[in-house]
Amino acid sequence: MKQILMTGVGAYLPETILTNDDLSKFVDTDDNWIRQRTGIISRRKANPEELTSDLAVKAANQALLSSGLNVLDIDCIIVATTTPDCTFPATATIVQEKLGALNAFAFDVQAVCAGFVYALSVANGLMSAGQGSNTLVIGAETFTKLLDWRDRSTCVLFGDGAGAVVLQAEKSEEGYGIIANTLHSDGRYKDILYVDGGVSSTGTIGHVKMQGRDVFKHAVEKLAAAMDEVLHISNLTSDDIDWLVPHQANIRIINAMQKKLNLPDEKVIKTVSHHANTSAASIPLALTSGVESGKIKSGHLLALEAIGGGLSWGASLVRYGRPV
Ligand code: ACO
């Protein structure tokens, strides 16, 4: 039986930084409100000519370097995004062409902020069934292009970026790689977080609309239940977790999860202060930050969780790297 190992990570953030003070120059908000309610200090913003696929390619190239694989070794590319370059083809095929990954099949996954955990689980299923030995899973977003910059209740929350991981199917020690996943959706809550545009409805792109308080309440409750579920099916407890690498939407949601799992600060990767909510990119961006800073090491047990529009949510347990 092959394990699905996570052998490389990479990330890319656009150069332009927008601070809370920058936002307060054109929308009625202030640094103190944003920091207190969300933990966000600044976010990155892609330039108009910078596409989601451009961000994805930069993150993917770094992940390839970190895994030691050649681009032609990649046989599957999955891009989790809500901000594709165009309605079709899939951004993943554009990424494939830009990377020169000509031996890969490629497709997108759309689960908004839960996109990365969804894509990871899809990759795990495909690879376990023998489709794909070396898969690139990328979360990439130019989410700022979906924002109404006059709506202070949403425009302060999001940022742009991309993160990528390399997964390799290999015979390996039990308990390494992807250990467990759980995915959930509840479309009854589709109206608390959505975009008011689309191809078959308005014919426009639309803007993000959100009932923040409702999303907050569901986030804490549903993420905690999903994490309990993956720990339970793996016969593990929160004491076994080396790093919680949560979706970075709001520091208060992250702190609530940390408390529920009874984890000290030293076991939680927090990047929301300078990334803001980058939707599907947030977990692989946080993962890369954890690995590059030397916190996450080979053999560490990672707990990943995310929730987003749908509502859709999920959690994964992954033992990072390879056995030495
Ligand atoms: N600056 C200043 N004031 C603001 C701002 C702002 N940017 N935004 C809202 N306010 C005001 C409101 O108008 C309201 O004023 P009022 O009392 O005079 O009516 C007041 O602040 C309180 O507004 P609430 O929305 O009740 O504030 P809350 O404490 O709930 O914080 C927030 C809002 C930060 C959005 C919070 O609800 C939240 O984080 N929710 C979760 C949202 C989230 O994480 N979404 C993403 C997850 S899913 C995904 O990742 C796509």
The structural domains of the chain, with segments of one domain joined by +, span 2-171, 177-319
Across 203-226, average pLDDT: 96
Mean per-residue pLDDT of the chain: 97
CA 205, CA 153: separation in Å to the nearest integer? 19
- Tell me if domain 2-171 and domain 177-319 are identical in fold: yes
Active site residue 86: no
CA 86, CA 10: separation in Å to the nearest integer? 24
Could you identify the atom of ligand 1 that is nearest to the CA of residue 306?
50
Q: Which residue in the block uniquely carries the two structure tokens 């989601």?
A: 52
CA nearest to 60, candidates 315, 288, 299: 288
Output the CA 307–ligand 1 centroid distance in Å: 17
Dihedral (CA of 115, 117, 118, 123) sign: positive
The CATH H-level superfamily of 2-171 is: Thiolase/Chalcone synthase (3.40.47.10)
83 contacts 52 by C-beta, under 8 angstroms: yes
Residue 173 is predicted with a pLDDT of 82
CA 316, CA 307: separation in Å to the nearest integer? 12
Active site residue 181: no
Q: Using one digit for the tens of pLDDT, what is the confidence trace for 265-317?
A: 999 999 999 999 999 999 999 999 999 999 999 999 999 999 999 999 999 99
DSSP states along 43-111 = EEE--TT--HHHHHHHHHHHHHHHHT--GGG--EEEEE-SS-SSSSS-HHHHHHHHHT-TT-EEEEE--
Q: Using one digit for the tens of pLDDT, what is the confidence trace for 242-271?
A: 999 999 999 999 999 999 999 999 999 999
Does the beta carbon of 107 sit less than 6 angstroms from any atom of ligand 1? no
Among 20, 76, 113, 155, which one carries the catalytic annotation? 113
Residue 174 is predicted with a pLDDT of 83
Does the beta carbon of 269 sit less than 6 angstroms from any atom of ligand 1? no
Does the beta carbon of 154 sit less than 6 angstroms from any atom of ligand 1? no
Active site residue 247: yes
3-state SS track over 275-301: HCECHHHHHHHHHHHHHHCCCCCCCCE
CA 276, CA 136: separation in Å to the nearest integer? 24
Asked if pLDDT for residue 133 goes beyond 90, the answer is yes
pLDDT tier at 320 (50, 70, 90 boundaries)? Answer: very high
Among 20, 134, 155, 247, which one carries the catalytic annotation? 247
Asked if pLDDT for residue 186 goes beyond 90, the answer is yes
Residue 322 is predicted with a pLDDT of 92
Say which residues have a Cβ less than 8 Å from residue 232's Cβ, sequence separation at least 6.
Answer: none
Q: Which fold has domain 177-319?
A: Peroxisomal Thiolase; Chain A, domain 1 (3.40.47)
Q: Using one digit for the tens of pLDDT, what is the confidence trace for 53-78?
A: 999 999 999 999 999 999 999 999 99
CA 61, CA 58: separation in Å to the nearest integer? 5
Output the CA 25–ligand 1 centroid distance in Å: 19
Asked if pLDDT for residue 190 goes beyond 90, the answer is yes
Across 141-160, average pLDDT: 97
pLDDT tier at 219 (50, 70, 90 boundaries)? Answer: very high
Could you identify the atom of ligand 1 that is nearest to the CA of residue 23?
7
CA 84, CA 131: separation in Å to the nearest integer? 24
Output the CA 213–ligand 1 centroid distance in Å: 7
